[in-house]
Amino acid sequence: MESDITSARPLLKAASRRLYLQLLSGKGTAKVGPDRDELERAGLIAPDPDRPGHVRALDADAVARARQAELIRTAGDMLAEAQVMPHHLADLASAYRAATAGQTVGGVEVLTGLRAINERLEALVNGCTRELLTAQPTGPRPAELLAISYQRDLGVLKRGARMRTIYLPSVRSDAPTGRWALTMTEQGAEIRTGATFGRMIIVDRRAAVVPILDPWSLEASAPDQAAVITSELAVGLAVASFERDWLHAEPWDGASEAELRAVHVAILRCLARGLEQDEVAEELGMSKRTVQGKLADLRAATGCRTQSQLLYWWAKRELQR
């Protein structure tokens, strides 16, 4: 904090500061000149009613607090204006997209570098007016990314757009993500968790941001590359993929009691498909030790001694529902 203050642009020149201190001690006079003008503009001196033709120093702390309050009000007005700016220019942005359609090769814009990706993504999301679809198969998100999401996603919801998000089941045991989910669902967002889905962000069904995948391994070819797809056909395919994954995902509102049940069910479903515990951990985005711990909790709660007994118990329970 100290480095931020000392690196800020000084309010007064050194000569003006010395003149203020001299006036304050009664050892100086404020002759007409640039230093006196600067002190007057800053509100630090005023005519002395007891000595015509002279000036006196005013309370610097009061001046600083008044200026601080003014800057805070200005900053608030600017933030409010920034929040609604994409909405004000939405019609012009739509016209621009229509006029420049086809300028990217095949409706695909390749972005390289995390800064370029984040800036392009921020511009797209800030212009979202109807619907934001996101799928994040990366497990719990870092605190700094959640902090960005609060401001960005709440802005989307305040503009009246619908927002749907899919996460891995592992986020249900992450307290910061749970608080984010609770806040977003209270504001109208819909959140679900699913086991297998691709990473994507779709804005107003007109643009999709996706990783660039190797066609054989289906792994990201480079962590700092992404594609912005604007082809109507390709975006439609991305939306269809999201809707399929959304249909098989389970709703979540951030509540801790629901999260444990959903994680247990996701693990049991994977085991029922024949996956080994390490494969379950990989698919659900959690460690093998976490999977083993969840299964141990389930066995203790149900009285089952083995994994086979646990799967049999779960199968009977599902049939009875």
Return the biggest CA–CA distance within the chain. 98
The answer to which of 1-5, 103-107, 187-191 has the lowest mean pLDDT is 1-5
Residues 313 and 302: their CA atoms lie apart, in Å, by 8
- What percent of the chain lies above the pLDDT cut of 70? 84
Tokens of 80: 């409010």
Q: Regarding predicted confidence, which is higher, 180 or 174? A: 180
Task: Return phi, psi of residue 132, to 5°.
Answer: -125, 120
Task: Return phi, psi of residue 165, to 5°.
Answer: -135, 140
Q: With CA atoms as reference, report the closest residue to 189 among 254, 265, 256.
A: 254
Residues 159 and 86: their CA atoms lie apart, in Å, by 10
**pLDDT digits 0-9 by tens, 198-227:** 899 999 999 999 998 877 777 777 778 899
Residues 40 and 63: their CA atoms lie apart, in Å, by 11
- Residue 2 is predicted with a pLDDT of 39
**Domains of the chain with CATH codes:** 2-85 (no CATH), 108-254 (3.30.870.10), 258-320 (1.10.10.10)
Give the containing element (helix H, strand E) for 250. strand 250-251
Map residue 211 onto helix, strand or coil: strand
Q: Which range, 72-86, 90-104, 221-235, has the best average confidence (pLDDT)?
A: 221-235
pLDDT(130) > 90: yes
pLDDT(260) > 60: no
- Residue 301 is predicted with a pLDDT of 60
**pLDDT digits 0-9 by tens, 268-310:** 889 988 899 999 999 888 888 889 888 887 776 666 788 888 8
Give the containing element (helix H, strand E) for 15. helix 14-25
- Residue 165 is predicted with a pLDDT of 95
pLDDT(24) > 70: yes
- Residue 30 is predicted with a pLDDT of 64
- Residue 278 is predicted with a pLDDT of 92
- What percent of the chain lies above the pLDDT cut of 90? 20
Give the containing element (helix H, strand E) for 228. strand 225-229
Task: Return phi, psi of residue 186, to 5°.
Answer: -65, -30
Give the containing element (helix H, strand E) for 168. none
- Residue 245 is predicted with a pLDDT of 93
- Residue 68 is predicted with a pLDDT of 82
pLDDT(110) > 80: yes
pTM of the entire predicted model? 0.52
Task: Band the pLDDT of 246: cuts 50, 70, 90.
Answer: very high
Give the containing element (helix H, strand E) for 2. helix 2-6
Please, are residues 169 and 263 in contact by the beta-carbon 8 Å criterion?
yes
